[in-house]
Structures are given as structure tokens and as C-alpha cells.
């Protein structure tokens, strides 16, 4: 039996194969490590991007909700709730008798909320067609308002007429975004009368809005710019109100949510009599000048006229550039308040003050005589009297009655410039009267010190002769002269002038009575006042008085004429001939200041006519008319 052999196959590992497997395993491990690192980078990058997006989103949400939250909340609420301003009516201005001088009337303005308008060009064209306006004007308003948020109403047209308003109301459904705003508008009942005293309104400026005085004001408001409207702005202005209304998608009002009513401005009662004011202004018709009337017993202003005047309503409507250019370049300066904003040489109206100074200082007595040959010869020069043939022997009474220059040349020379200035200031000259209205001129009463400081040269005695008769450097206002003569009339009481006597609010607790203020009592003996008062009465009552032509049969008027030279005449020139041939702007200024009744003064009137000529023939009759109008009216009033 054969034996079977099993062939055994034995695999012996190859060294090369083992090495190959080892390399493959190592490569696999390296691949896995590399892929893991790349994946981790991508994962971290994705996480970083997501975190960055989340951070940006969070920051944006924080910016919108925290930093800008109030703004966007306000805008979103105003998509359905609108806040509307309600203008406060300004206070009414009355004269002393309760006649309204300035009131308010309703004015309608067209507003546009651009946020509610889909086709703004069509709206502009329609509104322009209804109101007869040029669309380009409205487009200009839109361009100027492009930086204003669209939800804020802008004014397209101010103070529209009734026809325009009716058409707009009839077509409201076709005019989304168009609103009509009611606002009280200033109305001057006697437009142009007392314009310089009352003043006018105009739109508030940017500089005013930034000032403390106008903290509660808004852009577009009208504020006082001149006169009483400006001086009493804080009383007249009032406090604005407002309302919350709900509107639909096209801006139409659905219902009223809340309302705060405005507080009207306070009313003013003036000391001025409008009828006397109109009389004074009628006296100045076709003239350039001023008339001031006041009560010598308390300083209350009864009339304050300045001509030429101006249209107050023109400022309320809004001046065009051409209108303003014409007004500001007018050679007669209609915006100038000549009552206290312009100063003039007082001429011979200054002589009574020089006389009082001489009496009080003992330099002259009522009986002191000076001979007037028609001139006064001083330092190789003739200083002429207004009367070429002279006045002869003059005492103080006659020198005032006949206005003798020669007498006052010598009186002034004895007093000296500084002593004259001292007494002039006692009567309020050369300083503001503190009437409380803007634009007051202090005038000028010269002294030797003033000339040295202002001009740099010493005072000359020859200049004293000029100022003694109200010429040279002397400058006063019509209001100052009225107050000075009031002090002469009442025996030395210098009052502070005032134009508002009562300020009324909405209830009895808001009523302020303005009391008169006695500034000073001039320390001059009463007998000296009596001497000058008798002379001023003689100016009108005596046949040789320079104002005898205005003598009234029933009322005693006292006063003084004045003629202030504008152009100095050369020696030897005939005055009458020079005055006859002088051009209009070379004519003398005409003055007269008077009071009545002379024995119980109730009114003082100062009149100044620029380039009017002689005070006796031009200014004195104007004062007479004002005095008679006032006292005649008082005589007609029944007794208590």
C-alpha cells in the first residue's frame, strides 16, 4: 500500500509586500489627519462668519432700537398720528380810549405732507391751477425743503384768498397730502397810522432762534421787529398749543385724539389817543418831520408822529427784494422814527434852558439889559442876530419873546460851555429818555472834555456862542424837547415818558398797571421858572412875540419858536435872500415847542419839520392845531 503524502503549501511573507502595506496604512492615517484639519478650519470659519453676521445683525438692531429708536418710533407713529401746531393769537393793542389799533384776523395757509403724496408733480400742478400761481414757485419751495423729513408739513402758500381756499376744499379728495392750516394773522386797523410807534412783525431769523430771548419760538413764526411790537414781544406773543389727530393713508383727518389750547398774548392799552395821533400825522402831510405830544403831569405820551410813514401790512405779507430795496433806499428814510430816533440842532428852543441856567447861577437877572445892534462882535468876527437891524435894548423877558440871538450870545459866553451842558442835562438833553422803545437816539450836548476826547482839539469860546442859541454841536430829539418843556411848564419835574399804561391778561390777576415815574426834580428856584414861563407865554400872546400868529382866543398857549440852520452862511450874506434861493435840502429846520393851557398845563407838543424854514410860520401852526384838537375834545366831554 502506497502511502499518501500531503503537499503543504506554506506562504512565506514577502518583505516587499509587507513594506507596501505599511506605507498604505501610513498614507491612510496621514490623509485622515489632513482632512480632519481642513474640515476643522472650514468649520471654524463657518462658525466665525455666522458669529460675525450675528454680531452685525445685533449691532444693527441695537442701533435701530436703542440709538435711533425714538426717531423711528416717532416716524412710525406719525404715519397714523399727526401732531399739529396751534398758533397763539398775539395780544391786541388799544389806544387810551379802548379803540383797537392792532387786532388779529384768520389766515389760511396751504401745507403739503410729501409722505402722503404718490405723484407730487400732479399735486403741484393742480394746486397752482386752483390758486392761479406759477408751479415753479412751489417747486422752489420743495427744493428749499428737501432736507426736512417728508412727514413734516411744509408751507406751499401763505394767506390764501377765499377763491383758492374754496377750490382746494372742493377738490380735497384729489389732493392727498394737502392740508389747510388756520393761523391768526396781524391786522393793523389804521395801517400806517402810528406805524413808527406800534412797529411791525416779520419772520424770525436764524440768529434770533439761537438767542435766549426766543427759546420757545419756532422757525417761520412772526415776531416784533420794531416799535411796541418788538419792545413788548414777551407780553404780546402768547404760548403755542397743539393737537394730536389720527389720519388715514392719504393724510385725511379721521379723529381728534388730544388737544392743548394755545394761550393768547396779553393785551396792551396805550397812553396814545388815536384821534390826536391822526391829527398830528395830518399836520405833517407832505412834510418830513415829527410831532410829539405828552402830558406834562406824568410823562404819558399822547401822540408820537413821524413822517413819512410806511405800510405795516407790507411787512406782514412779506417784502419782495425789490420792495425792500426801494424802501431802504428812499432818500426820506420812511423807516426812521424821527420822534426819538433822529437828533437835530434845537435852535432857539434851547434858549429858555440857557436862561434858566443864567438865572440860577446869578449871571443874569430878569432885568439885566443887553443891547442888540443886530450882531455881537467877538474875536474879529460878527455873530449875527436873526434880525439884521437888531432888537435894541433887551432884558431876559423880551429876549425870549423876540428870540434875540445877541442877548444869548453874551449870556452863553458868561456861563461857559460846561455850565450850559450841566443844566441841559438836568432837563434830560444829551441822554436817552428811557421810553423803552428800540432805536432811541441820545442826542448830544457838548462839553469841553467831550470835544477834546472826540475831536482831539480844545474847546473855543466862539463855539460857546453857537451852542448858546442851539446851534453848533447841539443835537436833541423832538421827544427830549417835549420832556424838557414839560419840566419848564410844571416847575421842574422831569418825567420818564411811557407809552403803555396797562397790560391785560386772560384774567383779572394778570392786569399790570404802568405807573408814571418821576425821574428827578430839577433844583432851580420856582421864581426863575415863573420868569421863563411868563416869557414863553409872551412868545404867543404879545404882539412882538415870534409865534403871535398862533394866538388862540379861548386857550392860552405858551412856547418857543426855533429855526435851526442846516447850512452855515458866510459873513455879509443877506439871510432872507439866502433862504429864498436855498435848495430844498438847504432850508433850515423849523421848530416849535409849546404847552397849554399856560396857567394849568395839560399838554406839551413838540414839532420839528425838516427843511421847513421858519419855526414861527411852519412849526408853530402845527402845534396849535394839535393843542386845540386835544383841549377842544376834552372841553366837549361831559363832566363826571
CA 146 to chain centre: 32
Residue with cell 412710525: 76
Cell numbers of 585, please? 435840502
Among 348, 403, 466, 606, the active-site one is: 348
Provide the 8-state DSSP code for 548.
G
Q: Among 561, 636, 635, which Cα is nearest to 602's?
A: 635
Q: Among 622, 302, 273, which Cα is nearest to 486's?
A: 302
Cell numbers of 352, please? 429858555
**Cβ(395)–Cβ(367) below 8 Å:** yes
Using a 10 angstrom Cβ sphere, with 0-12 exposed, 13-18 middle and 19 or more buried, the burial of residue 467 is: buried
> 361 in the Ramachandran plot: left (φ > 0), alpha (ψ -120 to 50) or beta?
alpha
CA distance 162 to 160: 7
Q: HEC profile for 511-547?
A: EEECCCEEEEECCCCHHHHHHHHHHHHHHHHCCCCCC
Assign 132 to helix, strand or coil: coil
Name, in order, each residue with C-beta under 8 angstroms of 460's C-beta and a sequence gap of 6 or more: none
Phi, psi (degrees; rounded to nearest 5) at 560: -145, 135
Q: Among 192, 232, 204, 197, which Cα is nearest to 313's?
A: 192
Using a 10 angstrom Cβ sphere, with 0-12 exposed, 13-18 middle and 19 or more buried, the burial of residue 373 is: middle
Laid out side by side, the sheet with 558-564 consists of: 301-307, 289-294, 603-609, 589-596, 558-564
Query: Which residues face 475 on adjacent strands?
Result: 444
**Cβ(364)–Cβ(411) below 8 Å:** yes
CA distance 195 to 464: 38
Cell numbers of 325, please? 430795496
CA distance 391 to 545: 12
How many Cα atoms within 13 Å fall on the side-chain side of residue 178? 29
Residue with cell 389720519: 247
Name, in order, each residue with C-beta under 8 angstroms of 195's C-beta and a sequence gap of 6 or more: 188, 227, 309, 310, 311, 312
Assign 131 to helix, strand or coil: helix
Outline where 427-525 has alpha helix (H): 448-454, 461-468, 478-489
Q: Among 616, 474, 497, 611, which Cα is nearest to 545's?
A: 616
Please list, residue by residue across 205-233, b when 16 or more beta carbons sit within 10 angstroms of its beta carbon and e when fewer do.
Answer: eeeeeeeeebeebeeebbbbbbbbbbbbb
Q: Measuring CA to CA, how many Å separate 158 from each of 164, 172, 181?
A: 11, 18, 9
E strand or H helix at 375, and its extent?
Answer: strand 375-377
**What's the CA angle centered on 111, arms 108 and 115, to 5 degrees?**
160
**Cβ(245)–Cβ(84) below 8 Å:** yes
**Cβ(151)–Cβ(115) below 8 Å:** yes
User: In the annotation, is 348 catalytic?
Assistant: yes
Please list the active-site residues.
348
Amino acid at each position: 500500500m502506497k502511502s499518501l503524502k500531503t503537499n503543504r503549501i506554506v506562504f512565506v511573507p514577502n518583505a516587499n509586500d509587507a513594506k507596501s502595506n505599511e506605507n498604505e496604512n501610513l498614507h491612510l492615517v496621514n490623509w485622515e489627519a489632513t482632512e480632519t484639519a481642513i474640515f476643522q478650519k472650514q468649520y471654524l470659519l463657518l462658525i466665525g462668519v455666522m458669529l460675525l453676521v450675528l454680531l452685525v445683525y445685533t449691532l444693527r438692531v441695537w442701533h435701530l432700537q436703542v440709538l435711533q429708536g425714538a426717531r423711528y418710533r416717532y416716524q412710525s407713529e406719525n404715519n397714523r398720528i399727526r401732531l399739529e401746531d396751534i398758533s397763539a393769537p398775539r395780544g391786541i393793542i388799544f389806544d387810551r380810549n379802548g379803540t383797537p389799533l392792532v387786532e388779529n384776523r384768520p389766515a389760511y395757509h396751504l401745507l403739503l405732507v410729501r409722505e402722503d403724496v404718490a405723484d407730487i408733480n400732479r399735486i403741484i400742478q393742480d394746486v397752482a391751477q386752483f390758486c392761479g400761481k406759477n408751479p415753479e414757485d412751489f417747486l422752489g419751495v420743495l427744493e428749499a425743503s428737501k432736507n426736512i423729513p417728508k412727514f413734516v408739513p411744509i408751507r406751499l402758500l401763505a394767506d390764501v384768498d377765499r377763491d383758492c381756499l374754496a377750490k382746494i376744499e372742493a377738490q380735497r379728495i384729489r389732493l392727498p397730502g394737502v392740508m389747510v392750516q388756520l393761523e391768526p394773522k396781524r391786522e393793523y386797523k389804521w395801517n400806517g397810522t402810528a406805524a413808527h410807534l406800534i412797529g411791525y412783525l416779520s419772520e424770525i431769523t436764524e440768529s434770533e432762534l439761537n438767542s435766549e430771548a426766543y427759546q420757545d419760538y419756532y422757525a417761520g413764526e412772526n415776531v416784533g421787529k420794531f416799535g411796541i411790537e418788538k419792545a413788548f414781544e414777551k407780553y404780546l406773543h402768547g404760548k403755542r398749543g397743539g393737537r394730536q389727530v389720527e389720519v388715514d393713508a392719504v393724510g385725511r383727518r379721521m379723529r381728534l385724539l388730544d388737544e392743548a389750547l394755545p394761550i393768547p398774548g396779553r393785551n396792551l392799552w396805550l397812553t396814545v389817543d388815536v384821534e390826536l395821533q391822526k391829527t398830528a400825522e395830518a399836520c405833517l402831510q407832505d412834510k418830513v418831520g415829527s410831532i410829539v405830544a405828552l402830558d406834562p403831569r406824568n410823562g404819558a405820551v399822547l401822540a408820537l408822529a413821524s413822517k413819512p410813514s410806511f405800510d405795516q401790512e407790507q411787512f406782514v405779507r412779506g417784502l419782495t427784494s425789490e420792495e425792500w430795496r426801494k424802501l431802504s433806499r428812499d432818500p426820506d428814510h420812511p423807516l426812521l422814527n424821527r420822534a426819538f430816533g433822529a437828533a437835530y440842532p434845537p435852535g432857539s428852543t434851547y434858549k429858555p434852558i440857557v436862561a434858566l441856567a443864567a438865572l440860577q447861577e446869578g449871571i443874569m437877572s430878569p432885568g439885566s439889559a443887553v443891547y442888540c445892534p443886530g450882531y455881537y462882535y467877538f474875536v474879529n468876527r460878527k455873530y449875527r442876530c436873526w434880525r439884521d437891524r437888531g432888537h435894541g435894548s433887551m432884558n431876559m423877558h423880551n429876549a425870549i419873546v423876540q428870540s434875540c440871538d445877541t442877548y444869548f450870545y453874551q449870556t452863553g459866553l458868561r456861563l461857559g460851555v460846561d455850565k450850559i451842558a450841566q443844566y441841559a442835562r438836568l432837563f434830560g438833553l444829551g441822554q436817552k429818555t428811557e421810553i423803552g422803545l428800540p432805536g432811541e437816539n441820545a442826542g448830544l450836548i457838548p462839553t469841553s472834555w467831550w470835544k477834546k476826547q472826540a475831536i482831539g482839539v480844545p474847546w473855543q469860546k466862539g463855539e460857546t456862542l453857537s451852542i448858546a442859541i442851539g446851534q453848533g454841536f447841539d443835537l436833541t430829539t423832538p421827544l427830549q424837547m417835549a420832556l424838557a418843556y414839560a419840566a419848564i411848564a410844571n416847575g421842574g419835574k422831569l418825567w420818564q415818558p411811557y407809552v403803555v399804561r396797562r397790560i391785560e391778561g386772560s384774567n383779572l390777576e394778570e392786569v399790570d398797571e404802568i405807573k408814571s415815574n418821576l425821574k428827578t426834580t430839577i433844583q432851580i428856584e420856582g421864581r426863575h421858572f415863573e420868569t421863563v414861563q411868563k416869557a414863553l407865554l409872551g412868545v404867543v400872546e404879545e404882539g412882538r412875540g415870534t409865534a403871535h400868529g398862533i394866538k388862540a382866543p379861548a386857550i392860552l398857549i405858551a412856547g418857543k419858536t426855533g429855526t435851526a440852520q442846516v447850512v452855515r452862511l458866510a459873513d455879509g450874506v443877506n439871510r432872507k435872500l439866502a433862504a429864498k434861493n436855498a435848495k430844498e435840502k438847504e432850508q433850515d429846520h423849523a421848530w416849535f415847542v409849546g404847552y397849554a393851557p399856560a396857567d394849568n398845563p395839560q399838554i406839551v407838543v413838540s414839532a420839528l419839520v425838516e427843511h421847513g424854514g421858519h419855526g414861527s410860520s411852519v412849526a408853530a401852526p402845527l402845534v396849535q392845531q394839535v393843542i386845540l384838537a386835544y383841549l377842544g375834545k376834552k372841553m366837549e366831554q361831559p363832566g363826571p
